[in-house]
């Protein structure tokens, strides 16, 4: 164990130094000013477990994303509950099945008895969503995440890719190499619970996957899934690293200041901004950190 820790230490140190350097480089920059004139659409993939935070997520987008927003839509399975919430939030629903191929819709991927099919399908949805937007770029925001202060995603003619300082997950990068053949990787992680996708670059990524694997892009991703690895692919890592490697002059990278809340008690946007806005760009309410009791979940839904 001590030897393993010694081996891992240099990698961890490199990440820490890289994150520190990136933060210092843009320390004087206001992440929300000046506002951008680049129009975007916003898409939020949603399932039932995300409903406690969905309203906060949508409100934070409308308040803090400093772009002309053409529309905000949910990607979900329409049912009575989802339709009612979408109507209340004025966020029309895109049926997820309209974005998935038959093979993806019928995916049955399990790891140690745990169904991971929905998690993979959600990633495939994001990589296919340019087919349903009317702007050149679209912002994907995970429904369990809310912005805490103003932020822009385009600056000086470049799209901003935000990255986190968390540990890099090796299976994500092995998948990236297998899909694209590209071995150049960024030193930090692009898993920041959101991503601004550029339609042209996303199309080039899918084409690169198909050229390298000889398979349709979604089948190539499905084909590399390993039944003993629960998290073996990341859409955010794949897109971010592709842009970093293949079109670095078209993007610029910033550090994403995110914090995870261990409580299911969802605050108001005003409370969120007051508590976190001074030092964070977003707060994520990951359900796997929440208490599991039904009473606590009900409480989270009603505050």
Residues 85-102, mean pLDDT to the nearest whole number: 97
Task: Region of 180 please: left (phi>0), alpha (psi -120 to 50) or beta.
Answer: alpha
Structural domain includes residue 2: no
Structural domain includes residue 122: yes
Q: Does the pLDDT value for residue 59 go beyond 50? A: yes
Beta bridge partner(s), residue 151: 65
Domain tally for the chain? 1
End-to-end Cα, the chain, rounded Å: 45
At 5, is the pLDDT very low, low, confident or very high (cuts 50, 70, 90)? very low
Identify the weakest region by mean pLDDT among 4-8, 79-83, 163-167: 4-8
Max intra-chain CA distance, the chain: 56
At 300, is the pLDDT very low, low, confident or very high (cuts 50, 70, 90)? very low
Q: Does the pLDDT value for residue 21 go beyond 60? A: yes
Structural domain includes residue 4: no
- Average confidence score pLDDT of the chain: 90
Domain ranges, residue 80: 10-302
Give the residue carrying structure tokens 């001590």: 2
Structural domain includes residue 262: yes
Structural domain includes residue 17: yes
* Main-chain phi, psi angles of 227, to 5 degrees: -65, -5
CATH code for the domain of 53: 3.90.550.10
Q: Using one digit for the tens of pLDDT, what is the confidence trace for 232-282?
A: 999 999 999 999 999 999 999 999 999 998 777 899 999 999 999 999 999
* Residue closest to 123 by CA, chosen among 138, 98, 137, 104: 104
Structural domain includes residue 167: yes
Give the residue carrying structure tokens 């670095």: 248
What is the sign of the dihedral through the CA atoms of 185, 191, 192 and 193? positive
Structural domain includes residue 48: yes
Structural domain includes residue 3: no
The structure's pTM equals 0.90
Give the residue carrying structure tokens 């087919």: 131
As a whole-number percent, the residues of the chain with pLDDT over 70 amount to 91
Q: Using one digit for the tens of pLDDT, what is the confidence trace for 117-134?
A: 999 999 999 999 999 999
Q: Using one digit for the tens of pLDDT, what is the confidence trace for 145-161?
A: 999 999 999 999 999 99
Q: Which two tokens stand for residue 119?
A: 């998690």
Residue 293, pLDDT score: 38
Q: Does the pLDDT value for residue 100 go beyond 80? A: yes
Residue 17, pLDDT score: 87
CA distances from 14 to 21, 22, 229, 237 (A): 10, 12, 26, 18
User: DSSP alpha helices (H): ranges in 112-159?
Assistant: 117-128
């Amino acid at each position: 164990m001590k030897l393993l820790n010694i081996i891992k230490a240099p990698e961890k140190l490199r990440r820490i130094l890289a994150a520190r350097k990136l933060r210092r480089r843009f320390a004087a920059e206001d992440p929300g000013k000046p506002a951008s004139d680049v129009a975007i659409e916003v898409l939020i993939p949603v399932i039932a477990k995300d409903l406690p935070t969905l309203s906060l997520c949508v409100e934070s987008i409308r308040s803090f994303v400093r772009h002309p927003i053409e529309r905000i839509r949910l990607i979900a399975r329409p049912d009575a509950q989802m339709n009612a919430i979408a109507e209340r939030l004025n966020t029309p629903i895109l049926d997820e099945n309209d974005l998935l191929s038959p093979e993806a819709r019928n995916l049955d991927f399990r790891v140690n008895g745990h169904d991971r099919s929905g998690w993979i399908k959600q990633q495939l949805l994001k990589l296919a969503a340019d087919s349903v937007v009317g702007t050149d770029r679209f912002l994907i925001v995970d429904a369990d995440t809310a912005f805490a202060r103003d932020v822009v995603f385009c600056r000086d003619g470049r799209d901003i890719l935000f990255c986190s300082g968390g540990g890099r997950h090796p299976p994500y990068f092995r998948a990236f190499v297998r899909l694209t053949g590209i071995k150049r990787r960024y030193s930090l992680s692009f898993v920041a619970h959101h991503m601004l996708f550029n339609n042209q670059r996303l199309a080039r990524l899918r084409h690169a996957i198909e050229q390298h694997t000889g398979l349709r892009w979604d089948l190539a991703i499905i084909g590399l899934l390993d039944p003993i690895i629960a998290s073996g692919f990341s859409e955010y890592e794949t897109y971010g690293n592709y842009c970093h490697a293949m079109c670095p002059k078209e993007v610029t990278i910033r550090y994403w200041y995110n914090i995870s809340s261990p409580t299911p008690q969802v605050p108001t946007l005003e409370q969120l901004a007051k508590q976190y806005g001074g030092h964070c760009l977003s707060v994520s309410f990951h359900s796997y950190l929440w208490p599991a009791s039904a009473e606590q979940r009900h409480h989270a839904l009603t505050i």
